[in-house]
A and B are shown apart, each in its own frame.
Chain A
Amino acid sequence: MEVNEQIALDHGLKKEEYKKICDLLKRIPNLTELGIFSAMWNEHCSYKSSRLHLKKLPTSGKKVIQGPGENAGVIDIEDGDAIVFKIESHNHPSFIEPYQGAATGVGGIMRDVFTMGARPIANLNSIHFGSSQHKKTKNLLRGVVHGIGGYGNCMGVPTIAGQTSFDSSYNGNILVNAMTLGLVKKNKIFYSKAAGLNKPVIYVGSKTGRDGIHGASMASASFDEKIEEKKPTVQVGDPFTEKLLLEACLELMAGDSIIAIQDMGAAGLTSSSIEMASKGNLGIELNLNKVPCRESQMTPYEIMLSESQERMLIVLENGKEDLAKKIFDKWDLDFAVIGKTTNTKNIELYYDEKQVASIPINTLVENSPMYDRKWKKTKLPKKNLIKKEEFKKFKIKEVLNKILSNPNVCSKEWIWQQYDHTVMGDTIQKPGGDSGVVRVHGTDKAVAATVDSSAIYCWAHPLTGGKQVVCESWRNLISVGATPIAITNCLNFGSPEKEENMGEFVECVQGIGEACEYLKFPVVSGNVSFYNQTKEIGIKPTPSIGGVGLIKNYKQMITMDFKEINNLVLIIGKTEGHLDQSLFARNILNEKNGPPPEINLFNEKNNGETVLQLIKDNLIRSAHDVSIGGIITAVSKMCIKGNKGIEFNKPKYFMSETEYLFSEDQGRYVIEIEPKNLKKVENILNKNSVHFDELGKITDKNMIINGKTKVTIDELKSYNTNWLSNYMN
């Protein structure tokens, strides 16, 4: 087939991009070559709309071993150990085929991590669905949860934390973001940079089929009513093969045979071979007849663009082929020498002894398009003036019931009970806490991880929202006693071709950057997912932040359950009564306007570091950050988990009870301390100029507020635990 402009447009390329390809090649590409360009130049692989802005994020630091640009980021956790981690989206496929979409999302991110030589030790996920009233939501949720569990459980990697939200802006575009942490020795990290000439290029793993062809292109386009027709472009996962691939790769990595290794993820053999050659400033030659294929008569075009799962490409040291083959034979996996590195700086493909493609690699990578898209700034909305008399008509208890049973606050046990969260025998904090925590096997150390997003705040004011998500991640790590180290981000947005959406992206990234910079909490890996929109309706801007921290002695880990009767409860951080964009304002007052709570990075850092110091001094028995739903929601969860009550009074502020209990001011924590330590704790807080309120004390079974509102523990539990399981059954 002769290539022309129309065929290029059908591949998702723009007119001017096609012209650029012809100019760079000084000829018209053939169909295989065009396919390769479209795969490398789409948004998903080339970051053409986002690169310019992502460059501004802080990506280095004392603990950073590898920042963005590799399969995953790597941080130092001392004693020669390192953590490899990354988050990635699989939104588009999960909407079309929730089980396989979510499953292969989990499979893909685990491959990114073990490609670097790390054994995966924890999975997390951030999943977002349309309104609970929407007809598709239930099935999508069930499918996604089954898919995540189906893959992760089979791999034997615990799923230790996650986040689930519901919002009508996801009705036509759900989000499925999967994150994995792996453990590796610092001196045994593997990279994707090829080196040396005439080194054998090895294909291992599953056979190549016709599934997922153009998956990355699909992820770079909006949905329309014909989306169901795209089902064939969703990949099919095989976690069993991936488990074998994991074990085989780690076995091979124990030796010194590998020069470079890269998993075949988005755009399959195309992007993996090109990336390895590009990073090594080399050429690569592949004989496509050697590629193990699942189906007969696959064309070079199909072989290069297939996104079949569970495959790896390896550049091996000469003479190590037999040794490597033996390992992959043992694990019943395909193994084939399919090519070699060259000095041509071209990718050259052969099929039936004929050259079927020859493209200079720099045209695919360095010369890929980069756009400075137009974007629109979001003004800070004006504050709402909510009359205090308004509050009087609400009974605290009734409001609390509504808030604790809100889909975005209620217990997600129905979900995480379907994930194996205890396999590997090191999970010391299960899902449902502020962060999941796993021990570093055989040591006193533990790693904490959390994934967070706040689409409402980001939608109301992207710059503030971007900062807020980073701060929330930081707080969630501190609340379990972990020192925050670094983050990975998954940036889910609408179309970059629309100024509003692009503006949301630019300002969220700016906010993330500012907070990361200030908190010394760098970004080490991530992924961008644009075009999360159906027809003209885009999602609320949803950057998901995956934070990782270290606990040096796992016995100092903190959980949120109230521990002991008569212990005192303190609120760290100042409550200003900010209700705009709070759950209370939006869901109880039905007031959707106004700015999100302000972020004060100085207070955030100071409060967090002080709480961490109190934890290290063994002065805190339980802790929980204050987030959506305010103080009363945070305290309720601590009561529920600890099966204890609390008696407290609103401090004598000039503010209503409602504002004190439900406002969502930032930088706050609830902590439990023993009465005998009160003086010590006060001294430290005062010395560090940290504002705090003495809220009340822990009791045996009821929550009593200001002596007049009484809620039993059983009532709190029933508000919080039933909504999701009732909804799903």
Chain B
Amino acid sequence: MKSVVITFPGSNCDRDMHVALTKFGFKNQMVWHNDNELPKSDLVVLPGGFSYGDYLRCGSMASKSKIMQSVINFAKSGGLVMGICNGFQILVESGLVPGVLLRNKYLEFICKNVFVKIDNKDNPYFKNLDKEVFELHIAHNEGNYFCTNDQLKEIQDNNQVAIYYCNDNGKTEEKFNPNGSLKNIAGIFNKEKNVLGMMPHPERMIDQSLSGEDGSLFFKNLINNIK
């Protein structure tokens, strides 16, 4: 299985994502933001970081990068595109998934383990996952998901919420929401569910010696689903 990780100026989880994809069997290639063409692949990942310093609005400059037109075309043709953290911000800025990501409710960067609930499994990312509550890691300043009421209705009607913040029992109450996200939303799909944006970093949870290993389950499952 082939994957591509895009490096924008200011990306800083590109290597971590490369390490994770490679560890679980992807043949990964790094692609520079200023390239015109995407190499042929089964998965395109927009990694975390601070693309263009996040100086205008998180992800907004990167969403206008040269390579993004190819990424958008790839997504429109049904290709799998996944954005993690800053990659999620780039996805919302490029209009591939609905909504916006605001500054965290308490106005502070948060780096910690959180529990998330994944019960939406009718999609190429989570199909066949045999549990619902995962411990993943977040590290962001702007992860507070927001959208209009109309958008929210559409998202819910289409079953587009991918991941919710919850506690270790899967309860998705406000008190388990680390950043103020609407409805505890931690990740979201496009309508067709081939594009996934999420704040948590599965690539940081791929080894017992790190914060935990639930990220491994995610990647193992993903590559099996693509095969």
Contact = CB atoms under 8 A, between A and B. Distances in A.
Interface of A: 146, 149-150, 153-156, 238-241, 243-244, 330-332, 416-428, 430, 439, 554-555
B12 to A, nearest CB: 2
A240 B52 contact: yes
Contacts of B110: 417-418
Contacts of B53: 154, 238-241
Nearest to A446: B209
A439 B209 contact: yes
Interface of B: 9-10, 12-13, 15-16, 19-20, 34, 48-50, 52-55, 108-112, 137, 139, 141, 201, 203-204, 206-207, 209-211
23 contacts: A150-B109, A153-B139, A153-B141, A154-B50, A154-B53, A154-B54, A238-B53, A239-B50, A240-B50, A240-B53, A240-B55, A244-B10, A417-B110, A419-B111, A420-B139, A422-B137, A422-B211, A423-B13, A423-B16, A425-B16, A425-B19, A428-B210, A439-B209
A267 B211 CA distance: 41
User: A interface, by DSSP: helix, strand, loop or mixed?
Assistant: mixed
A420 to B, nearest CB: 5
A664 B94 CA distance: 58
Contacts of B16: 423-425
A424 B55 contact: no
Contacts of B9: 240, 243-244, 331-332
Given A425-B203, A428-B209, A243 B19 contact: no
Contacts of B19: 425
Contact of A554 (B137, B209, B211): B209
A424 B10 contact: no
Contacts of B49: 156
Contacts of A424: 15-16
Scoring A332, A425, A427 by chain B CB atoms within 10 A of each residue's CB, the highest score goes to A425
A422 B111 contact: yes
B204 A154 contact: no
A423 B12 CA distance: 8
B192 to A, nearest CB: 31
Contacts of B203: 425
Nearest to B16: A425
A418 B209 contact: no
Given A240-B50, A417-B112, A418-B109, A156 B12 contact: yes
A241 B49 CA distance: 13
Given A422-B210, A425-B210, A156 B13 contact: yes
A541 B112 CA distance: 35
Given A418-B109, A439-B209, A423 B139 contact: yes
Scoring A155, A240, A241, A332 by chain B CB atoms within 10 A of each residue's CB, the highest score goes to A240
Nearest to A145: B108
B10 A240 contact: yes
Scoring B20, B53, B206 by chain A CB atoms within 10 A of each residue's CB, the highest score goes to B53
A421 B110 CA distance: 10
A417 B111 contact: yes
A244 B48 CA distance: 16
A426 B73 CA distance: 35
A426 B207 CA distance: 9
Nearest to B50: A154
B111 A418 contact: yes
Contacts of B111: 153, 416-422
A155 B48 CA distance: 12
A670 to B, nearest CB: 23
A182 B209 CA distance: 21
Scoring B19, B55, B206 by chain A CB atoms within 10 A of each residue's CB, the highest score goes to B19
B204 A425 contact: yes
B139 A555 contact: no
A468 B50 CA distance: 41
Contacts of B141: 153
B139 A243 contact: no
B10 A420 contact: no
Given A240-B10, A244-B10, A425-B203, 15 more contacts: A153-B50, A153-B111, A154-B53, A154-B54, A240-B9, A240-B53, A243-B10, A330-B34, A417-B108, A419-B111, A422-B211, A423-B16, A423-B204, A425-B16, A425-B210
A423 B108 CA distance: 17
Contact of A243 (B50, B108, B137, B206): B50
A420 B52 contact: no
A156 to B, nearest CB: 2
Contacts of B204: 422-423, 425
Contacts of B20: 425
Contacts of B211: 422, 430
A147 to B, nearest CB: 12
Nearest to B11: A156
Nearest to B51: A240
Contacts of B15: 424-425
A239 B20 CA distance: 26
A423 B111 CA distance: 10
A14 B50 CA distance: 46
Contacts of A423: 12-13, 16, 48, 139, 204
B14 to A, nearest CB: 9
Contacts of B54: 154, 240
A405 B9 CA distance: 43
Nearest to A418: B109
A661 B4 CA distance: 57
A418 B19 CA distance: 25
Contacts of B52: 240
A555 B209 contact: yes
B26 to A, nearest CB: 16
B59 to A, nearest CB: 14
Contacts of A425: 15-16, 19-20, 203-204, 206-207, 210
**Nearest 9 interchain pairs by C-beta:** A156-B12, A240-B53, A425-B16, A154-B50, A420-B139, A428-B209, A418-B109, A420-B111, A422-B204
Contacts of A426: 210
A149 B205 CA distance: 22
A416 B54 CA distance: 22
Nearest to A247: B9
A418 B210 contact: no
B108 A418 contact: yes
Contacts of A153: 50, 109, 111, 139, 141
Contacts of B201: 422
Given A154-B53, A155-B12, A425-B16, A420 B209 contact: no
Nearest to A437: B209
Nearest to A159: B111
